[in-house]
A and B are shown apart, each in its own frame.
Chain A
Amino acid sequence: MNLELVASFTKRFPNGPTIAVDLQRPVNAFSVTVLFGPSGSGKTTVLRCLAGLEHPDEGSIRFGEECWYDATHRLFLPPQRRGIGYLFQEYALFPHLTVASNIGYGLTGLSRHERRRRVADMLDLVQLTELEARYPRHLSGGQRQRVALARALATRPRLLLLDEPLSALDADLRQQLRQDLRRLLRELGIPAILVTHDRVEALALGDHVVVMDQGDVRQSGPVHEVFSRPSEAAVARIVGVETVEPGKVVHITDGLATVAVGGVELMAMAQDAVEGEVYVCIRAEEVIIEKGPVTHTSACNRLVGHIRALSREGPMVRLNLACGFPLTALVTKQACDELDLQEGEQVTALIKAPAIHLVPGG
């Protein structure tokens, strides 16, 4: 049977934005749907409406055959009866209960014996057995996150809702727990909807992404597709495409489009129904930098310009170039040192035509 979560609703806030969402996701098998967007885009509100913590104003939410919310029939299923697990941003552990009591808190229908066994299983799953008698205030951030996850999973939810599950942790831990989280979710096979504003998190954890901006869904689809082929300039900026510049398609021949951007012309793969005013989207890591005369290259875009700014970011160096239009390039530290790149220097930027993604402009 194909079980689906179908949500289509509007939530209004007095003196605030209106949040409108249209979502359809299979929920009979493991898959992580990421609600992605900048803060204030309405992602958490959508999650809260799905959980039943917030009352939408219009529309409906269906989970398989069940109706969770229907404005026209004045139907609203409280969070208690939706069979979900919710992971709060700051975890919301009960401060007056031990780790074991926190995890066993929602297991009201079980016998004592069964409850104890389920708690033991959950402690085992998140590897916290030795901490079962501790109180939340004596736990580290990462341990709290795991207790919260174990507590949400203990009731065997049919759908897991995660609100920024890793944002309260520091960077090192975040990276490690990111992998653990994905593995755990896959092992348990519970479909999940996850809210994040972190691109790396979306890419590492998600199968499907829903990009939100200012209360609206802008694009949705498989994560890699949305991130590499955004449908509009706003989505391109949200998913972190470094260079998004307005241009104009001059002509199209043999599937190749010539686009005027700033003072130069670029060659890009022609895309369906993209003509006239466009936005040119270029990922920084797709730009190759050469110094001195360029000899032979297959890249059909060669842009001569100079380095306006150079900033080191861990193992990578970010270059802001002026080459007829502002272009961002990302090179390794090693390459930067070998070429001895300096601010103000003249370089050539090489970009392959397929690395230039065009979206409708205007």
Chain B
Amino acid sequence: MDWSAIWLTLRLSALTTAILFVLGLPLAYWLATSSWRGKFLVEAVVALPLVLPPTVLGFYLLMAMGPQSPLGQLYEWLTGRLLPFSFQGLLVASVLYSLPFAVRPFAAAFAAVDWRLVEASWCLGVSWSRTFLRIVLPLSWAGILTGLVLTFAHTVGEFGVVLMVGGGIPGVTRTVSVAIYDEVQALNYAAAHRTALVLLLLSFAVLALTYALQRRVAVL
């Protein structure tokens, strides 16, 4: 069993989920409430990872992070290190690749909140941000939870982008999915099976828990 790959994958997924929680919520709230004309462009960009082959996204990310690119140079100047084939580079790629899996459920949940409740809160003198915390969040948490779980599960299952940007360096960028691929390539089926089974059970448990929680909300 490749415990270092499992640990790396869980760390990557948890961090990606946390980052998308912080970045995704405001973006989704803006998408759900804005009446700006050009909004459809932002929506299209957010949904791009759904349709692009992971290799395309991975390729462009690699170019964008490379030591010749402005982003790569900025990162090197700030940290003295390079982004590609590092855990941080992998994290950036994961955040972008999982963006629609977080933002779309968030936005759908916000859009489902009755807007008059928000207006009622404003008319009672409660500020914009407190209204978000006390009305919008509590009424859309099921959708937010869905987004977080999907993000986590999607990051765990990532393969193409991880391979392109991370390169599969053991202990640094070799996630579970890459590890399984390597084992199969080496005809080491027993090891591949053990790791794959852990991944399968973990994914099932997380999804089952989410749906159970959502059922409770629906019944309430």
A interface residues, Cβ below 8 angstroms from B: 51-53, 78-81, 83-86, 88, 90, 92, 94-96, 105-106, 108, 151-152, 155
Contacts and interface: CB of A to CB of B under 8 A. Distances in A.
Given A94-B135, A96-B138, A53 B119 contact: yes
9 contacts: A53-B119, A79-B123, A81-B125, A83-B125, A85-B123, A88-B116, A88-B120, A92-B120, A152-B123
B122 A79 contact: yes
B119 A92 contact: yes
Interface of B: 114, 116-117, 119-127, 130, 134-135, 138-139
A82 B135 CA distance: 21
A48 B135 CA distance: 20
A53 B116 CA distance: 10
B116 A79 contact: no
Contacts of A52: 122
Contacts of A152: 123-124
Nearest to B121: A105
Contacts of A80: 122-123, 125-127
Contacts, number: 55
A84 B120 CA distance: 11
* 8 residue pairs, one from A and one from B, having the closest CB atoms: A106-B124, A86-B123, A92-B116, A92-B120, A79-B122, A80-B125, A79-B123, A96-B138
Contacts of A85: 123
A42 B117 CA distance: 22
Contacts of B114: 92
Contacts of B126: 80, 105-106, 108
Given A92-B114, A96-B138, A86 B120 contact: yes
Given A95-B139, A96-B138, A90 B116 contact: yes
Given A53-B119, A78-B122, 15 more contacts: A51-B123, A53-B122, A53-B123, A80-B125, A81-B125, A84-B123, A88-B120, A92-B117, A92-B120, A94-B120, A96-B138, A108-B126, A151-B120, A151-B124, A152-B124
Contacts of B138: 96
Contacts of A78: 122
Nearest to A78: B122
B133 to A, nearest CB: 12
B124 A96 contact: no
A51 B135 CA distance: 20
Contacts of A86: 119-120, 123
A52 B127 CA distance: 13
Contact of A155 (B116, B122, B125): B125
A80 B128 CA distance: 9
Given A92-B114, A95-B139, A96-B138, A155 B119 contact: no
B179 to A, nearest CB: 44
Most chain-A Cβ atoms within 10 A of its Cβ — which of B119, B138, B139? B119
Contacts of A88: 116, 119-120
A357 B88 CA distance: 83
Nearest to B114: A92
A94 B139 CA distance: 9
Contacts of B130: 108
A321 B75 CA distance: 89
Nearest to A109: B125
Contacts of B127: 80
Contacts of B125: 80-81, 83, 106, 108, 155
A79 B119 contact: yes
A17 B134 CA distance: 35
Most chain-A Cβ atoms within 10 A of its Cβ — which of B114, B116, B117, B138? B116
Contacts of B120: 86, 88, 92, 94, 151
A302 to B, nearest CB: 55
Most chain-A Cβ atoms within 10 A of its Cβ — which of B125, B135, B138, B139? B125
A81 B134 CA distance: 19
A103 to B, nearest CB: 10
Nearest to B116: A92
A108 B124 CA distance: 9
A81 B135 CA distance: 19
A105 B120 CA distance: 10
Nearest to A104: B124
Contacts of B135: 94
A84 B125 CA distance: 8
B54 to A, nearest CB: 39
B139 to A, nearest CB: 6
A79 B125 CA distance: 7
Given A88-B116, A90-B116, A96 B139 contact: yes
A96 to B, nearest CB: 5
Contacts of B124: 105-106, 151-152, 155
A108 B114 CA distance: 22
Contact of B117 (A51, A81, A94, A155): A94
Nearest to A95: B139
